Structure 1
Amino acid sequence: MNRLDEIFDEAIRNGTFPGGVLLVGDHEKMIFEKSYGTLSKDSKVPVSNDTIYDLASMTKVTATTPAVMKSIEDGKLRLYDPVSLFLDEFKTDEKKEIRIFHLLTHTSGLPSYSEGWKYAQGKELMKIVNSTMPINPVGAKHVYSCLNFITLMEIVEKVTARKFDEFTKSEIFNPLGMVHTAFKPPKNWKIAPTSERDGKTLCGDVDDELAYYLGGVSGNAGLFSNAADLYNYAKMYLNHGKHGDRNIFSKETIDAFTCEAFNDGQNRRTLGWDMKGLACSCGDLMTDRAFGHTGFTGTSIWIDPQIDISVILLTNRVNISRRENQDKIIRFRPLIHNYIVANRRFLGE
């Protein structure tokens, strides 16, 4: 057993997750792909490379951010448009200065989450989300918030006059050949189950509470995918917006959305993405140009254009526990990224 296998085996044995898939690639090719463990804590069915995972907050950068990028390229949106231009609930004195830029960089002043899912669903829950008041002045502080990206989804739907899941499928996933990426995925897909809700184990229904009670399609969570599809997406960034001979985005758009847009000394953000920083999930060896995102379920994607690498990690750690093993996945991610960056030339041997 090589050291990479040992790291995964240790994590499975100590309850970090029941199984997972790791994929490493550059701008040309897949360097390494391997699956580990079982589909769930109670299953003996092994994970395969094509297993579908609940991406959780990776949805923010795999669906919502590119949807905003596409809307900007199509001349339907600009970064400094006030949100009040699209949503009446943002016309209050406290919220009228919030702009698209603030939502993308988590500097809107809105709180991190809403407990509205406990007593409302669907359109009523969306009204509660839209009516949530800021806890900080606009632009004053970084507070990572799911509400920002639910709002971005609504704005995309308004400017495109299309349902969010339909728009992202036709404009992003299909052009990239991401045929196993979807909101509310078909039940016949091989999906890794997550946690229990209402007495049943979720398998194909989103783990996140807000996304679940909004109906499964949301800007903060709800997307399901596999490693190969996500590599197509990551590789597009490493190729400056190209997928094969097709331009998915312009180089200018890729550059604008992957450079530093916010830095308060603790948090570095692009437009939508997290960036390499202290105690980062991408570890210690990626460069300051690295951008990525994690998901609560145990997923992550990191892309470093300076050293030409993308690392996709998919697990369903919430199948073991929603909270008790959080510290374990937080430590596991940087360990695995450090090993990959330092030993990439030996991967696959």
Structure 2
Amino acid sequence: MDVMKAVSAIIEKQTAPGVSAAWLHGGVQTLMVAGEATWVPARTQLRSGALYDLASLTKVIGTTTVFLQAVDEGRVAVDDPIRRYLPEFHQPTTFRQALTHTSGLEGYIPHRDELSPKALRQALISQLRVTTECDREVVYRDVNLLLVGWALENIYQAPIQPLIQQRVLTPLGLTAATFSPAPSRCVPTTYSPEAGLRQGLVHDPKAAILREHSGSAGLFASLDDLIRFTEFAFGQRQSAAWPRAFATILQDETTNHLGRSLGWDLREDACHRLWLYHTGYTGTFWLIQPQLKEALIVLANRVHPQPNLAFLTVRDELVANFMAAHS
């Protein structure tokens, strides 16, 4: 499989204006920065080093990593109920259930995207209930990692985004990664004549409201930042901040073998090797196999000028073919 040719299909099929990608294999980095940053209101060139709205990759770079640090420090255990650290949350959900998206939490919050930060947080804590999906089905929901983040806020006495900056981004040397980027450095997301171009402002509505209290989305980072994080996952870099608990991340952590680790999705190739996998709504996705020291990182802005559903088909085909080629 020609990996970068397959990645370039994202541009060729016009499912995103441009793409920044890295294939790490055999100690080699194969990089690609191609296409455009925007189509409207004007066409602009995509530059190397640009920052992307990572969307849900925030969950695994940031919140999951801080949680694993807390496990290392003995401050929390995977099967602790979240309410032990977040007393206003009354459901029996454990960190394991939240981090594997098997919590079964569900509920409708009217006018959710119009609430104040305090009201949205309170609604997400108080208005969701555990359903029969719990431990029986993976249902991916942002609230799971928001709850983990709020528990970590109480453990460390600081908002989750500054915690991620202080405990992950800075000590690991992810120097471009930030929750408050200079807009001019960012690849834009949406555009409409009414709202204009969204650039340097998080796309996710809940994260936009919750700001520094969002552990589910909000991080902007460059391709180089994700490469560096991946090298820590490979064991090629060392830092006292890198969680020892990450060494056991490559295993199914659900109670009924549903194929999720803590924070990360798991994909199995034909040789029965597990890969860490995660996607972001804006057009980001990431595959890591720590033992093979192989990874694929793809950053795109498929929500420009508006979300492109065809991108998801191209992405899923690419991931399937990439996995097949490594079997």
Q: Same fold (TM over 0.5)?
A: yes
In structure 2, which of residues 241, 246, 256 is the aligned counterpart of residue 248 of structure 1? 241
| 2:183 alignment counterpart | 187
Query: Which ranges of structure 2 fall in alignment gaps of 5 or more residues?
Result: none
| 1:347 alignment counterpart | none
Q: CA RMSD in A?
A: 2.7
Post-superposition CA distance 1:250-272 (Å, at most 9, x none) = 54x1133331112757x410111
1:20–1:314 Cα contact (<8 Å) kept: yes
| 2:139 alignment counterpart | 143
| 2:250 alignment counterpart | 258
Bigger shift: residues 167-176 or 6-15: 6-15
| 2:315 alignment counterpart | 332
Residue 294 of structure 1 aligns to a residue whose secondary structure is: strand
Post-superposition CA distance 1:60-81 (Å, at most 9, x none) = 1011100101111122211122
* Paired letter, 2:211: G
1:172 Cα deviation (Å)?
A: 0.9
Aligned equivalents of 2:112, 2:128: Cα separation in 1 = 16
| 1:31 alignment counterpart | 29
Aligned equivalents of 2:227, 2:83: Cα separation in 1 = 36
1:336 Cα deviation (Å)?
A: 6.0
* Paired letter, 1:243: R
The within-5 A match list for 1:33-72 is 33-42=31-40, 43-72=42-71
2:37–2:188 Cα contact (<8 Å) kept: yes
In structure 2, which of residues 108, 119, 122 is the aligned counterpart of residue 124 of structure 1? 119
Residue 129 of structure 2 aligns to a residue whose secondary structure is: coil
Post-superposition CA distance 1:192-219 (Å, at most 9, x none) = 1111487132111111111111126511
Aligned equivalents of 1:59, 1:114: Cα separation in 2 = 23
**How many residues are treated as equivalent by the alignment?**
323
Give the alignment's TM-score, normalised by structure 1: 0.83
The within-5 A match list for 1:1-349 is 6-26=5-25, 29-42=27-40, 43-91=42-90, 95=91, 97-111=92-106, 116-137=111-132, 138-188=134-184, 190-196=185-191, 199-215=195-211, 217-239=213-235, 243-244=237-238, 246-251=239-244, 253-262=245-254, 267-277=258-268, 288-322=273-307, 325-335=308-318, 338=321, 342=325
1:6 Cα deviation (Å)?
A: 4.8
Aligned equivalents of 2:227, 2:129: Cα separation in 1 = 36
Aligned equivalents of 1:159, 1:54: Cα separation in 2 = 27
1:15–1:320 Cα contact (<8 Å) kept: no
How much identity, in percent, do the aligned residues show? 25
C-alpha change, 1:128 and 1:250, in structure 2 (3 Å) is closer
C-alpha change, 1:140 and 1:9, in structure 2 (3 Å) is closer
2:4–2:32 Cα contact (<8 Å) kept: no
Aligned equivalents of 1:59, 1:113: Cα separation in 2 = 24
C-alpha change, 1:147 and 1:248, in structure 2 (3 Å) is same
Give the alignment's TM-score, normalised by structure 2: 0.88
Aligned equivalents of 1:39, 1:171: Cα separation in 2 = 31
1:287–1:306 Cα contact (<8 Å) kept: no
1:340 Cα deviation (Å)?
A: 8.8
Structure with higher RCO (Cα < 8 A, 6+ apart) = 2
C-alpha change, 1:110 and 1:255, in structure 2 (3 Å) is same
Aligned equivalents of 1:213, 1:164: Cα separation in 2 = 14
* Paired letter, 1:275: L
Aligned equivalents of 1:112, 1:65: Cα separation in 2 = 24
1:113–1:146 Cα contact (<8 Å) kept: no
